A and B are shown apart, each in its own frame.
Chain A
Amino acid sequence: MTSTARDPLLSVEDLRVSFGTAHGQLIAVDGVDFEVGPGEVLGIAGESGSGKSVTLRSILRLVRPPGHVSGKVIWRGRDLMTLSEPELRRVRGGEIAVIFQEPMTALNPVLTVGTQIRENLKEHTTLDAAGRQARAVELMDQVGIPAGKTRLEDYPHQFSGGMRQRAMIAIALASNPSLLLADEPTTALDVTIQDQILKLILRLRQELNMSVILVTHDLGVIAQTCDRLAVMYAGRVVETGRVAALFRQPRHAYTLGLLNSVPRADLVRQPLASIPGQPPSPTTMPPGCPFAPRCRFKVGPCDDAVPPLVEVAPDHRSACIRHQDVAGAGA
């Protein structure tokens, strides 16, 4: 793919993740490709079960057995899938960081926040104990937790929801990574806090010169924070491109459906539009386009083979053979 001429920081190629279960092979991620440039915020949007969280976790090889991962994840020229454990550990936390959806379960309840920050620093920096403590206090300020020094000795359950999320961000970003993987960071928060956290992430992106991959099902969050977007459905990427372009003129039926289903406050009394039907079961994927059974643009060839993700406009890729018609309908 040729996005604007710039070397991507992270490049995911043909990522596949499957789980062997009693009911057969469960395909969570079915050949995913995308890229992230330096300083860019890439959103990965999709409903529950689309495979977006699994995709994120497999970047850092966090998927546990019985999960089986294949594909390439090129980070700064090296394939993370082939790195040895010690080399991978250097990347984890040091170059790429992750934050999870629910801070109450992601933070160890029996260790103080300070301990959890300092162990990150100990692993990836050469600071001494005093240096680590100072940096920890600095981090608390950076993420906007007041009285940082005293709060370092508090346990996760002593923080409120929004503060806990900030603490998790502080722990994750302690060693100045260049890429942040955020798995639904605001889904568990209420709307006002959500806004604060998103602004925080954007500010940190600026201050630390970081790229971000933001996984979410909320298109509003995407609109607010992301530069580019990859839409996932049933384990595959169906459309990628700049957020503005995709929102204005989606070129995949699923994206169109998603955008249409967002209720609009400015129109008078519209019935809620939703996409009829259900996503396919991960153990029995249809042979052709996974969205075909629910698609109003579907034609015969849609069922023959999975449409490949191809460039349909500058910096805009779609996996839909009828993308022209979709573009026409959406404007």
Chain B
Amino acid sequence: MSVTLATPSFLRAGGRRRLSLGIGTVLLAALMLFSLFPGFFAPYDPIAFDYQHLSAPPSLAHWFGTDNFGRDMLSRVIWASRVDLEIALFCTLFPLIFGTIVGALIGFYGGWLDAVFGRLVDLVVTFPFLVIVIAIVAVLGPGLINMYIAVSAVGWVFYAKLMRADIQVQKHSDYAAAARVLGYDSARIIFRHLLPNAITPIIVYWMTDMALALLLGSSLGYLGLGAQPPTAEWGVIIADGKNFMSTAWWISGFPGIAIVLAGVGFSLVGDGIADLFRKRS
């Protein structure tokens, strides 16, 4: 007599993983295409007013409707994707590079540097990221560049923390000992041997960080502290439409969906990379 419960086949789970990675890639590819060739995809000029169709609901002529100035929402959303993708990239690139290098050095050398860094991490990790960024933006003034500075100034710490932990693990592995025995100098060991092995979790984190940067950037845009009008940015567009939620929901509605789709894209790709990495190791 058999005693069993349904066996969920790993094959099924594997297929689902591949599906989600596929969806993520498609979403990101769409984002990149819209960012690189907005003119090609957008049916109208995003700043052209159309007095015939003020605050028009979605229709065949205007898939996403128009706003109170008569601007086509679909075009605005597409043109804004470039700004938002920039936000995701520029908020994370410096932290990625700087944080990885610093983290690798601290993880490798340790010592008093590590103690100081530990205190810094304590401070940054628990403190509300948004509040720090807002505070810095308050001092520097609203605007995209200042936002990048504010986010980068704090964001690198997370990458450094991750890299430091990774490097510490790699440092004790056999191949690292072999490199030391061969007499390679420290810099070479760190950057050509340890780092490539430790980098995959960083890349995965980078993906989710880009999703978070997108949320942060659009939130600041909504608050008027990030991208400044008339720059089309999804958060800014949502703020434009916030007073028309009952009368013209499509103004704020569609950019929000765009944010969600972009964020999901980054997350799924990040998860997919993490899965691939896990399978290989």
A81 an interface residue at 8 Å Cβ cutoff? yes
Interface string of A67-110 (1 = CB under 8 A from B): 11110100000010110000000000000000000000000000
Q: Are A22 and B14 in contact (CB under 8 A)?
A: yes
Least CB distance from B8 to A in Å reads 7
Q: Are A65 and B6 in contact (CB under 8 A)?
A: yes
A66 an interface residue at 8 Å Cβ cutoff? yes
In this complex, what residue of B is CB-closest to A72?
Answer: B1
- The answer, among B3, B5, B6, B8, for a CB contact under 8 Å with A70, is B3
Q: Which residues of A contact B14 (CB under 8 A)?
A: 22
A61 an interface residue at 8 Å Cβ cutoff? yes
Q: Are B7 and A68 in contact (CB under 8 A)?
A: yes
Least CB distance from A88 to B in Å reads 10
Chain B residue total in the interface (Cβ 8 A): 12
Least CB distance from B175 to A in Å reads 26
Q: Are A68 and B1 in contact (CB under 8 A)?
A: no
A284 an interface residue at 8 Å Cβ cutoff? no
- Interchain CA distance A248-B213 in the complex, whole Å: 73
- Interchain CA distance A82-B2 in the complex, whole Å: 8
In this complex, what residue of B is CB-closest to A65?
Answer: B5
Chain A residue total in the interface (Cβ 8 A): 14
- Interchain CA distance A121-B43 in the complex, whole Å: 75
- Interchain CA distance A65-B6 in the complex, whole Å: 7
B116 an interface residue at 8 Å Cβ cutoff? no
Q: Which residues of B contact A65 (CB under 8 A)?
A: 4-8
- Interchain CA distance A163-B7 in the complex, whole Å: 39
Q: Are B8 and A66 in contact (CB under 8 A)?
A: yes
- Interchain CA distance A22-B7 in the complex, whole Å: 11
A278 an interface residue at 8 Å Cβ cutoff? no
Q: Are A81 and B11 in contact (CB under 8 A)?
A: no
Least CB distance from A139 to B in Å reads 32
- Interchain CA distance A72-B1 in the complex, whole Å: 7
Q: Are A81 and B3 in contact (CB under 8 A)?
A: yes
Q: Which residues of A contact B2 (CB under 8 A)?
A: 68-70, 81
Least CB distance from B250 to A in Å reads 45
Interface string of A44-82 (1 = CB under 8 A from B): 000000000000000001000111111010000001011
Q: Which residues of B contact A79 (CB under 8 A)?
A: 1
Residues of chain A at the chain B interface (Cβ within 8 Å): 20-22, 61, 65-70, 72, 79, 81-82
Residues of chain B at the chain A interface (Cβ within 8 Å): 1-11, 14
- Further contacts, 11 of them, CB under 8 A, given A20-B7, A81-B2: A20-B9, A65-B6, A65-B8, A66-B7, A68-B4, A68-B7, A69-B4, A70-B3, A70-B4, A81-B3, A82-B1
